[in-house]
Chains A and B, each alone.
Chain A
Amino acid sequence: MIRLEKRPQPSKAWTVATPILAVILTMIFGGIMFGLIGTSPFEAIRTIFWDPLFHPQFANFSRPQLLVKAGPLILIAIGLSIGFRAGIWNIGAEGQYIMGAICGAGAGLALYPMDSVLILPLMIVAGALGGWAWAMIPALLKVKFGTNEILVSLMLVYVAENLLASVSSGILRNPEGMGFPGSRNLSQWSSSQNLELIPNTGMHLGVLTAFIAVILAYVLLTRHIQGFNIRLTGEAPRAAKFAGVSPARTILFCLGLAGALAGMAGLFEVTGPAGQVSIDFGSGYGFTAIIVAFLGRLHPVGILLAGLLMALTYIGGELAQLMLGVPGASIQLFQGMLLFFLLGVDVLTNYRVRIGKGEVST
């Protein structure tokens, strides 16, 4: 009989080893799945994990995409992870991301066609505020009325998507766009464009911000009393109250921070890779970032690596669809496996597997 025995404390070695084990298991079972649908497993795995970086023909295009895709994922996931650490489940980062883009773009477009180096910083602040304000709705409702932030933040995603559709064919529509929905192209307006900082790397201001956020989050969680209080709230809410941590303030801080970072991610996206506010601007980064946050063990460095890995499977997945003709659903299944195995083997961090006779014990 196999039985799980609780470790006296979480194993440090397994904390590091489980993500690697999960990736290996995903490769094995994903490979079997690709085999079953008639694709060579090795080719499929190579196309997903290797070719985006090293394929002689495609790598030049796909390599910068890695940072372009990973940047917003990491930035949003860092914000979410801090709330998750405190047991505050913001599921609505997608909405905050969209609102950040709308508010930031709106602030910039209000000044069009003025020419100033201050416009982009202003837009970043407006984007962060937009995301923050959107996150404050579930935060204040939770503090005042004890509503469930999961439901409220999630529902507000759909509100944000409708607002996005409304403004891109209404107030923010490009007056010179011949009636097509969508705003002016912000990446082509010198005052608002968020260009690559180093050519052909994909490294734009948003990616840089994401890296800075990783460092600051690390310092916050390991050195600062606010980070300690957040971890304490998540670990033992009653002990946190005893220590003197205000639950309301923690909720406002965590949701606010997550909203502001998601809003900034939206703004960097709309001024860079996406270029304009349009109906299909929402790309699911806000939801995928939840996976990234857990894949990275809610640890800033883990999130950095998880964001890059997630971006890789996205780019690799697209590449596999293109080159091997595998169906899109198989790629989603593959990504789902990754999360499944990650959460599944996580049990090894807190439990050790014992093989032998079990007993009923309390």
Chain B
Amino acid sequence: MPDDLLRLSGLTKAYPGVVANDDVSFDIREGEIHALLGENGAGKSTLVKMIYGLVKPDKGSMTLRGAPYAPSEPSAARKSGVAMVFQHFSLFDALDVAENVALGMENPPPRRDLAKQIREVSETYGLPLDPSRTVGTLSAGERQRVEIIRCLLQDPKLLIMDEPTSVLTPQEVEILFQTLRKLKSEGTAILYISHKLEEIRALCDHATILRLGKKVATCTPSETTARAMAEMMIGSSFASPAAKHTTPGEVLLRVDNLTMPAPGAFGTPLRGISFELRAGEVLGFGGVAGNGQDELLLALSGERTTKRGTIWVKGADISRDGPIDRRAAGFLTAPEERLGHAAAPNMSLTENAVLTAGRRQHLVKKGFINWGRADRFAEDVIKRFDVRTPGTHVAARALSGGNLQKFVIGREVAQDPDILVVNQPTWGVDAAAAAAIRQALLDLASKGAAILVVSQDLDELLEISDRFGALNEGRLSALKPVVDLNMEEIGLMMGGAHDMEVAHVDA
């Protein structure tokens, strides 16, 4: 039996008002892939931050290969052989791959040597990457490889990966798994954080399951069903959205050959997007992040107006209308980014209600805001969507991500739109809240609204959509009924492996 590489005993960390980790103990063995499983808010992030030296535990201790291990900062963790690939990349768009890798190193070697090392590592582990490419031109999967290579150059004993597949296509996931298995075969242990159960079953040797900051179970994923792991993770059952039988009605939204240049140097242009959205229908757009989702949302919300004749609502051309006129026509949108885009962080929930509902809910009359009415509307959204907050006077930034998400989606749903477009409606939301949001969207559709859901969560799209399409480099694939789809087909719709070669291990 292999020895323990990292042993955690009794790790506890409390923040004001919440215990993020409560007496968590488990071992990671040499050369294993160990899954850390849990819902959002279960304490996974805090735990790995402690291992990586970003957060100091209140209680408890760690040992690395038998020696006491208490990193005071990430560089100390890296020196001890612990490396981490974050969910959100910390790369500079304007610099090239080699420069980005050098920035993450304590003593970067001269550029020519570094480029050579990057090529070697990328060949060995099947992660093709050109050291001189500018990061801004890379896909999400390629950016992740930059982060992984940055870690591998330091020859880590333990590699922590925080939800690495959330930005990848199915094919890219397979390539990543091959890399991780190769690392494992060379003796590197991997701590793999995810809530995607099938992945963990396919990849991991052991799993530790966290719920509300406590370790609740351990299991061997290959011998445990996904259902059993989900139950351990959630602890209670939640309602999954009811199946529905839709008979699509008239066309409410028609997008006709929508083409638009990229908004900035690193944006994605939209290329000839056309689709029709009918009453009572839920249409799902998948795709890897950065393939035109945000740009499509800006064009649909009216923040960027488009060429005449490209966007039609109920037969009327609204391409040149701004957001206010589109809302008046019953066409509502909810962007992906909650703080700063969908909501103003420092303003109260009441004020944030006025932000999109002012005209439609008659909160503004002759230019004057009826604060009483606005407050009642915000109160209504909070009640209907179970937003946990002390009241409507609270600033948006004081809400947790999931609660704010419920509020910004609820704000649009509560306005009874004819057409609703949402981007990443359940991003970073726990399972129960995500189910509630999806149910709200389905209810709205059953009342005859047309819904477009843009998401990177394929399971979500397959669960609630009637038809599915994928965005790839600003183009929209053909739309297909969800019942006819399998994972392979979806992967191809999302742009194949995104111009990636399959890993040529040992090439």
Asked if A and B bind, the verdict is: yes
Q: Using Cβ atoms and an 8 Å threshold, which residues of chain A touch B398?
A: 8-9
Q: Considering only CB atoms, which chain A residue lies closest to B348 in the complex? A: A9
CB-CB contacts below 8 Å: A213-233 with B: 223-226, 228, 231-232
**A residues 335-362 with Cβ under 8 Å of B?**
359-362
Closest to A10 in B: B346
Q: A8-B395, A9-B398, A359-B55 are in contact. Are A239 and B346 (CB under 8 A)?
A: no
Q: Is the CB–CB distance between B322 and A239 below 8 Å? A: no
A residues 229-246 with Cβ under 8 Å of B? 231-232, 235-236, 238-244, 246
CB contact between B344 and one of A223, A232, A246 (< 8 Å): that residue: A232
Q: In the complex, are the beta carbons of A360 and B303 less than 8 A apart? A: no
Chain B positions within 8 Å of A226 at CB level: 367
Nearest to B321 among chain A residues (CB) is: A244
Interface size on B, residues (CB 8 A): 39
Complex contact A228–B369 (CB within 8 A): yes
User: Is the Cβ of B343 less than 8 Å from the Cβ of A239?
Assistant: yes
Task: List residues of chain B with CB within 8 A of the CB of A223.
Answer: 368-369, 371
Cβ A359 vs Cβ B56 within 8 A: yes
Report if A244-B368 is in contact (Cβ < 8 Å); known contacts: A8-B395, A235-B344, A361-B55.
no
Binary per-residue interface labels of chain A (23-61) against chain B in the complex, 1 for a CB within 8 Å, 0 otherwise: 000000000000000000000000000000000000000
CB atoms of B356 and A242 under 8 A apart: yes
Q: How far is the CA of A18 from the CA of B301 in the complex (A)?
A: 41
- Asked whether B340 is an interface residue with its Cβ less than 8 Å from the other chain, the reply is yes
> Whole-angstrom distance from the CB of A141 to the nearest CB of chain B?
22
A238 close to B346 (CB less than 8 A): no
Q: Are B73 and A360 in contact (CB under 8 A)?
A: yes
Contacts of A239 in B (CB 8 A): 340-344, 355
Question: Are the C-beta atoms of A236 and B364 separated by less than 8 Å?
Answer: no
Q: Please provide the chain A residues from 265 to 301 with a CB less than 8 Å away from any CB of chain B in the complex.
A: none
Whether B54 and A9, one on each chain, are in contact in the complex, defined by CB atoms closer than 8 angstroms, is no
User: Chain B residues with Cβ under 8 A from A225's Cβ?
Assistant: 354, 358, 364, 367-369
Q: Knowing A243-B323, A244-B302, A360-B73 are in contact, say whether A224-B345 is a contact too (CB < 8 A).
A: no
Q: What are the residues of chain B within 8 A of A236 when measuring CB–CB?
A: 340-341, 343-347
Verify A224–B368 contact, CB threshold 8 A.
Answer: yes
| Residue pair B368, A242 in contact (C-beta under 8 Å) | no
Closest to A8 in B: B398
A231 proximity list for chain B (CB < 8 A): 347
Interface of A is mostly: helix
Count A-side interface residues using an 8 Å CB cutoff: 24
- With both beta carbons as reference points, the residue of chain A lying nearest to B340 in the complex is identified as A236
Point out which of B302, B327, B341, B355 has the most chain A C-beta atoms below 10 A from its C-beta: B355
What separation, in Å, do the CA atoms of A360 and B50 have in the docked complex? Answer: 10
Does B119 interact with chain A (Cβ within 8 Å)?
no
Per-residue B-contact encoding for A289-331, CB less than 8 Å = 1, 0 else? 0000000000000000000000000000000000000000000
List CB contacts (< 8 Å) of B325-353 with chain A: 325, 327, 335, 337, 340-347, 351
Residue in chain A with minimal CB distance to B337: A238
B397 at the interface (CB under 8 A from A): yes
Contacts of B355 in A (CB 8 A): 232, 239, 242-243
Residues of chain A contacted by B335 (CB below 8 angstroms): 242
Q: How far is the CA of A241 from the CA of B347 in the complex (A)?
A: 16
Task: For the complex formed, measure the closest distance between the CB of B415 and the CB atoms of chain A, giving whole angstroms.
Answer: 13
Residues of A within 8 A of B301 (CB): 242
Does B121 have its Cβ within 8 Å of any Cβ on chain A?
A: no
The docked-state distance in angstroms from the alpha carbon of A360 to that of B54 is 6
Please determine whether B342 and A242 come into contact, CB atoms closer than 8 angstroms: yes
B55 neighbours in A (Cβ, 8 Å): 359-361
> Is B54 within 8 A of A362, CB to CB?
yes
- In the bound complex, CA of A241 to CA of B346 (Å): 16
- Contact across chains for A238 and B340 when beta carbons are under 8 A apart: yes
B49 interface residue per 8 A CB criterion: yes
Docked pose: A152 CA to B12 CA in angstroms: 56
Shortest CB distance A350–B (Å): 9
Contact present for B324 and A244 (CB under 8 Å): yes
- Please, how many angstroms separate the alpha-carbon atoms of A276 and B368 in the complex? 41
Q: Which residues from B are CB-within-8-Å of A246?
A: 322
Interface string of A164-177 (1 = CB under 8 A from B): 00000000000000
Chain B nearest Cβ from A301, distance in angstroms: 18
> C-beta contact mask, B73-109 vs A, less than 8 Å → 1, else 0?
1000000000000000000000000000000000000
> For A241, what are the chain B residues with a Cβ–Cβ distance below 8 Å?
303, 323
Chain B residues positioned under 8 Å from A243 (CB to CB): 323-324, 355-356, 358
Any A CB within 8 A of the CB of B479? no
- Within the assembled complex, what's the spacing in Å between the Cα atoms of A226 and B366? 11
A300–B367 alpha-carbon span in the complex (Å) = 20
- The interface residues of chain A lying within 8 Å CB-to-CB of B356 are 242-243
Which A residues are CB-close (under 8 A) to B324?
Answer: 243-244
Interface positions, chain B 205-223, Cβ under 8 Å from A, are none
Please give me the residue from chain B that is nearest to A350 by CB atom: B346
Residues on B with C-beta less than 8 A from A360 are 53-56, 72-73
Query: Shortest beta-carbon distance, A342 to chain B, in Å?
Result: 20
Give min CB distance, A8 to chain B, whole Å. Answer: 4
Minimum CB–CB distance for B13 against chain A, Å:
10
Residue B394 is within 8 A (CB to CB) of chain A in the complex: yes
Residue in B341, B368, B394 whose beta carbon sits within 8 Å of that of A238 in the complex: B341
Nearest-CB residue, chain B, relative to A6: B397
Q: Which 8 A-B pairs have the closest CB atoms?
A: A244-B323, A244-B324, A9-B395, A236-B344, A8-B398, A235-B344, A239-B344, A238-B341
A-B contact pairs, 6 of them (CB 8 A): A225-B358, A232-B355, A236-B341, A239-B344, A241-B323, A243-B355
Listed in ascending order, the chain B residues whose CB lies under 8 Å from chain A are 49, 53-56, 72-73, 301-303, 322-325, 327, 335, 337, 340-347, 351, 354-356, 358, 364, 367-369, 371, 394-395, 397-398
Given contacts A9-B346, A241-B323, A361-B54, 17 further A-B contacts (CB under 8 A): A8-B397, A9-B394, A223-B371, A232-B344, A232-B347, A235-B345, A235-B347, A236-B343, A239-B340, A241-B303, A242-B303, A242-B335, A244-B323, A244-B327, A360-B55, A360-B73, A362-B49
